Structure 1
Amino acid sequence: EDSRFDDMPETNCPICQEYLTDPVTIQCGHNFCWVCITQHCETWAEQDSDLLCCPSCRARIQKGALRKNNQLANIVEKIKQLDFKPGNTNLCERHGKALDLFCDEDGEAVCVVCERSPEHRSHPVLLLDEAAQKYKSQLSEILGFSKKFSLLHNQLSVKGPRAPSMFLSNLFPILIQKQTQTERQKIVSEFQQLRQFLEEQERLLLARLEKLDEEIVRLQNENVRKLSEQISRLSELISELEGKCQKPASEFLQDRGSSLVSRPVPAITGLLGNTAHPNLILSEDRKSVRWEETKQDLPHNPERFGYWPCVLGCEGFTSGRHCWEVEVGDGLSWAVGVARESVGRRRRINLSPEEGIWAVQFGGQFQALTSPVTPLPLSWVPSRIRVCLDCDRGQVTFIDAGDEAPIFTFPPGSIPCERIRPWLWVWVRSQLRLCP
């Protein structure tokens, strides 16, 4: 009776090698799980829809020509309920295959299907005979050692009743010594690893402390530098005031309003739209300007800048002292300053005093637009700049409006006696705004 189910060819799916689930019969007569054969047909159709073959016999079949086999489904269910276990042959309970292999890691016999399953795929697997031979060899070694020990014990017994106990008394300390030596090596290794870990943590913490020390020194130096600049600025103010005090009364009274100690009222009301480059967008209140990639379709009037992305302020000055502030934010490329009203608009010019421009610029580094440029080695870039124009002295000074630290001064006599206007230069990803 058992021989009828030797390989159970009619109850297992040739694709998944499990019991048939919802079995169907194809044209060549082979049976498959409905899900397995459907997936097979879909995969095959993606490669070549005209050559669909049976997975077992490679006979040509038609997609969709599947016949449900209810009789076979009933037989499979009965075999499952019987939990078939042959008596003469060792078969896998899950797959019904011969247990010809041995999983060395799990210590159990497996079949070829089990070997390819996720549970055993990464485990060392031997043929059943090889595994038996391996463990027989290990057992033989143990038996050999036991026989030698027994023989030695018998030999010692001949020498006297106390010889075996004396032998054991000498043997046990040796075994204990080996055991303690192993434990000692283990402890030394663990502490060595712990020591290496602590040393690494020590190096990391010391490196952090060193960086912290460097940051503290940097901040101290920066504060000292700012303080020195403010002291230098104060010294200039003192010298200027002392000079003013030596002037005659009438001249002193006329010049009292130009003292650097007093902050003049902001002098700009807005930007002059008809001078703005076509890539510059002005706000409705004419207080801010930003760069736009797309050019605007604007009139080509002679006042408009056609090469450099510039714009002038509404007010022009010929005398007196005037101040205004410009917020530059975190823009990547910009310039702030003044320009003579006759500055070139339609052609390319050098941004320098020779061409009628006095300004500071940022574009990767901070610099004054002298000829050649003067790098400004500041450890920070101001976000708000005050421009102080003294037309009578021909001088313009730039100040960090945040901490009142001086940035750069074009010395007296630099600016000619003609109408001077505020000047802004705006490039990509930048926006400038006149402050109230």
Structure 2
Amino acid sequence: MSLPVDDLQCPVCCDFFVDPVLLSCSHSFCRECVRRCWETSGSRECPVCRKRASKAGPTTNLALRNLCETVLEARKGSLSSEKEKEELNCDLHQEKLKLFCLVDKQPICVVCHSSKTHKNHDCSTIEEAVVDCKDELSSTLVRLQQKMDNLKRIHTNSSYNIDYIKNQAVETQREIKAQFEQLHQVLHREESERLAALKQEENEKLAGMRDKISEISEEMLSLEESFSVLESELNADDMTILQNFKAIQDRCNTIPLGPVNMSGILIDVSKHLSNLKYSIWENTNDHLQYTPVTLDPNTAHPYLILSEDLTSLHYSGQSYGCPDNPERFQMSAEVVGMSALGSGSHHWTVETGSNRDWLLGVTSASAPRNADVSARPENGFWTLCYRDGELRAMASPPTPLVLTKEAPVRRIRLQLDYNRGTLCFFDCSHDDDDDTLLYTFESTFTELLLPYFYTQSHHPLRIFPESVMVTALRKEGSKQVM
């Protein structure tokens, strides 16, 4: 004889008992239900007979709990069996589902296959479809796992980037103060404004980085949910996989699996330090040194050390923990200038000194930063190379250069005429003002160019400063650069 369902239901919630407890009056309730009743009434009374319960905690009614669990499990098994029997047949024709429509991504019967809906659609057998669908879902699972691994790596690096950004701000602030100290009497106002701009950018970068971390965390949470759903579906029975396949695949296809955009996350150090003294020349009548090209530290290979004023570099042989940001060169010891070169004429001079392993020139702005490519024009590089005592123009093929003077090359001047498509290299190592043309690249430049530097020498390459004279004119308070 079966027990009435009412005897298995809590008098408070009117549902099957969950963790039932037995009071001294012999009435049973869900543990959570009786607790809420006591909290609401303020007294430990039986919700049915109002008899006061003992001070000790109510005991678990093990027999009743086991009985409820047995009945619920039996009901669940019965419902699942009935549902499975219903799902094995087509809802429209009550025929057994023997085919899988490859167009609509759903199981169908033979009558469905002959109908207008699926008549011209490619189909496969249920057995073949299960294998194919599992393979496809497994591939999707692998891609999601790769995305998750990539997000975890970026999330970890992003936390490190916050410390790096703070360190950038500290170092940049120190250099700003050092340069402003030289002209502090007349430049106090300018110094304060630039420090405020740096602080504002630091806050913006940190806020943006925190937002990026939060965004990545949310995306990771979403991926974890999709990952869990996909794993559950792969462990389900074959028919459930086929019936839910389209919905699951549509859900997975909405998840972007491309790389996370982390460009522009670092402080633009060059904006604060590049030609700092020259940029405030209106506040002084002294002669200033101007460097036509300054280096972008956010692009420097981790083994390169840049000077504080961003005008020299040398090779260290060890990494100093730079972030793996997209702008940075990762394959070899390279760095580019911060200012892109376009229409017009541009020139700068590099002092190579005792450095015997270098490449100098220009590179296109879109040249790869994380790939090992030859510094040739077809790859977006126009350079001169000095290595093993030999000077070569890195054309295709490389062209050895014969020096007309016995003294080694110690200073190179680069002259870029963007509109004419020429890049000239001059040897200006000597004091006789007799600059010697070493080589001329001729090309049709189609995008912005960046000054390019490479070295694996501990001896520095230094961008030579130029003297600029600032003279005040009386006409309407204007000034002229001479």
* TM-score, structure 2 normalization: 0.34
TM-score, normalised by the number of residues in structure 1: 0.38
Please tell me whether Structure 1 or Structure 2 has the larger radius of gyration of its CA atoms: 1
